[in-house]
Amino acid sequence: MKTQIVKPQNTNSKVIITGFFEDEKSLSNVQAELNKKFLGVIENNIIKNFEGKFNETLIFPIENGVKIIALGLGKKEELTLNKLREAVSKAISGAKKYIKEGILSVEFIENDNICKKGAAYNTVIAAGIADYKFDKYKTKKDEKIENFEILTNDDDEKIIEGIKKGDILNNAMNFTKDMVFESAEIMTPSKVAEIAKNLADEYKIEAEIFDKNKLKELNFNAFLAVGQGSAQEPKFIRLAYKPENPKKKIVLIGKGITFDSGGLDIKPPSSMLTMKTDMTGCATVLGVMKAICEIKPDVEVHIMSALCENMPSGSSYKVGDVITSKSGKTIEVDNTDAEGRLTLADVLTYADEFNPDEVIDIATLTGAVIVALGNNITGIMGNNQEMIDNFKNTAEKIGEPVWQLPIYEDMMDGLKSDIADMKNTGPRGAGSSVAGRFLQNYTKSKNWLHIDIAGSAYIDKPYRELQKGATGVMVRTLTEYIIK
């Protein structure tokens, strides 16, 4: 999808989306021009028949196969960037089937309470989300937006900046989604490592990839235990973007279980169904790294992921096994399906070696987060309230809902083991917080944030602008958090 600013007079697009506020009967500058170009259709038909309620759309076919789609934006003073993105994305989704020539145009929608850069950015994101489809395995593909036109006469630099940023983040999210949608048969640890290496080569950044032998040498024992039942070799990846005078150093860790069968504590079929997506954390931090390499902020960013499959076999790790993690702390395996926290524990320990100012991990970690927050809210927790608040504010601005879950010191009581330093699972209640409490043991950082996307990474019905399937959630929020 190529995005461009086009003057309304000059568009050759056959599908044009234009916005209307509720109870507003005057035409915008762009609409006045479209009205002239299309013989008064907006004035004579649309304005008279359209209420402009939020998310309402009405299609007006006019001569030469052109369709003008009126999009309701609700009350003028209530429009926010998040509502704009939702409305535009839904309208584009609905209009996609009409784009025969690959061109789709949207009026640049402005308002006093939203900034130009934000409006442009969110319009492009809206189009990117609506246009995305994992159709690699479909013999018949949907229509695609090849040229996306933003109709305006305004040549403000801010609009161009917003468009650029939108294109960068769309590419990053699509990159993440493509990895998540791909089958586990293809998206193996080795394949992910290859993708990471290619990304590093493309942007000329540092890459470190460890194979099984190197991992043994470095005592990634908890990680190796999880992967030992699989025919696929485990891989660890680290990429680093290092600007000249960084004002801050951040490590991002993504859970990278390329398939989670549960291991010997095997999952029932309905729970296993989406477990190719258990590497979404890894795909997310790779997407963020792609965006960071384009935006080039003065922050040093490392991304890390421990990649393996969790499989049942004769060589699998077993309940009752005691593992000496990379940190030296011992863990009794209470449930082989609580594998993510084991792999993350070793990576958190490794992250400390880089003396980061902040450590953030993102993981499809617990089914419990779905019980607590559903599929559309991401759970966050950590050991620093200021950092949590900061992240929460960024997520709210970007429009990705998050909610903080508590971590209490004494949650360790439930993880007590008779023979080791701790068990990997505890009581059923507050499962997401207990998992967070477990992870907290493995970082020395005083600025650690844990993001549980088990619910929000992959959805089975559309939500606001999001389509079903892989959502690319947190790619935009994490990028914004780093660059702002």
- Taking alpha carbons only, the member of 71, 81, 172, 175 closest to residue 126 is 81
In the list Zn ion, ligand BES, Mn ion, none, the entry touching 196 (Cβ below 5 to 8 angstroms by class) is none
Q: Which of 260, 421 has the CB closer to Mn ion?
A: 260
- Taking alpha carbons only, the member of 77, 82, 90 closest to residue 119 is 82
Whole-number Å distance between alpha carbons of 281 and 57: 36
Q: How far is the CB of 320 from Mn ion (least distance, A)?
A: 17
1 alpha carbon, distance to own chain's centre: 19
Residues 6+ away with beta carbon under 8 Å from 189: 227, 232, 233, 234, 235, 256, 258, 307, 308, 309
Q: Which residue in 341, 423, 437, 476 is the catalytic one?
A: 341
Stretch of 42-50, 209-217, 296-304, 331-339 contacting Mn ion, by CB under 5 A: 331-339
| CB contact at 8 A, 230 and 223 | no
Number of residues this chain uses to bind Zn ion (CB under 5 A) = 4
Position among 86, 182, 260, 421 found at the interface with ligand BES (CB under 6 A): 260
* Helix (H) or strand (E) segment spanning residue 223: helix 221-227
Q: How far is the CB of 99 from ligand BES (least distance, A)?
A: 34
Position among 167, 337, 358, 400 found at the interface with Mn ion (CB under 5 A): 337
Q: Which of 149, 260 has the CB closer to ligand BES?
A: 260
Position among 425, 467, 471, 479 found at the interface with ligand BES (CB under 6 A): 425
Q: Residue 435 is encoded by which pair of tokens?
A: 């998992």
Q: Which of 181, 241 has the CB closer to ligand BES?
A: 181
* Residue 339 is a binding residue for ligand BES (CB under 6 A): yes
Q: Considering only residues 240-259, where is the footprint of Zn ion by CB under 5 A?
A: 257
Q: Considering only residues 256-295, where is the footprint of Mn ion by CB under 5 A?
A: 260
| DSSP category for residue 307 | E
Residues 6+ away with beta carbon under 8 Å from 223: 215, 234, 236, 306, 308, 326, 342, 343, 346, 347
Q: Considering only residues 441-460, where is the footprint of ligand BES by CB under 6 A?
A: 454
For Mn ion, what does the binding mask look like between residues 360 and 379, x meaning CB under 5 A?
--------------------
Q: Which residue in 96, 267, 329, 392 is the catalytic one?
A: 267
Residue nearest to Zn ion (CB): 260
- Taking alpha carbons only, the member of 310, 115, 144 closest to residue 228 is 310
* Residue 368 is a binding residue for ligand BES (CB under 6 A): yes
Q: Is 267 a catalytic residue?
A: yes
Residue nearest to ligand BES (CB): 367
Q: How far is the CB of 416 from Zn ion (least distance, A)?
A: 23
Stretch of 117-125, 155-163, 349-357, 364-372 contacting ligand BES, by CB under 6 A: 364-372
Residues 6+ away with beta carbon under 8 Å from 128: 1, 166, 167, 169, 170, 173, 174
Q: Which of 127, 451 has the CB closer to ligand BES?
A: 451
Stretch of 117-125, 336-344, 414-422, 464-472 contacting ligand BES, by CB under 6 A: 336-344
In the numeric block, the tokens 């010997």 are attached to 264
Position among 107, 167, 337, 361 found at the interface with ligand BES (CB under 6 A): 337
Stretch of 138-146, 278-286, 311-319, 376-384 contacting Zn ion, by CB under 5 A: 278-286
* Residue 361 is a binding residue for ligand BES (CB under 6 A): no
* Residue 260 is a binding residue for Zn ion (CB under 5 A): yes
* Residue 246 is a binding residue for ligand BES (CB under 6 A): no
Phi-psi category of 57—alpha, beta or left, where left has phi over 0 and alpha has psi -120 to 50? beta
- Taking alpha carbons only, the member of 315, 311, 342 closest to residue 221 is 342
Q: Which of 226, 359 has the CB closer to Mn ion?
A: 226
Residues 6+ away with beta carbon under 8 Å from 459: 375, 376, 466, 468, 469, 471
Q: How far is the CB of 458 from ligand BES (least distance, A)?
A: 7
Stretch of 260-268, 318-326, 370-378, 392-400 contacting Zn ion, by CB under 5 A: 260-268
Phi-psi category of 412—alpha, beta or left, where left has phi over 0 and alpha has psi -120 to 50? alpha
Using DSSP bridges, classify how beta strands 300-310 and 256-260 pair: parallel, antiparallel or unpaired: parallel
3-state DSSP helix/strand/coil percent for the chain, to nearest 5? 40, 20, 40
**Burial group, residue 270, by CB count within 10 angstroms (0-12, 13-18, 19+):** exposed
Q: Considering only residues 118-177, where is the footprint of ligand BES by CB under 6 A?
A: none
The site for ligand BES (CB under 6 A) is made up of 260, 278, 335, 337-340, 364-368, 425, 431, 454
The site for Zn ion (CB under 5 A) is made up of 257, 260, 278, 340
- Catalytic center residues: 267, 341
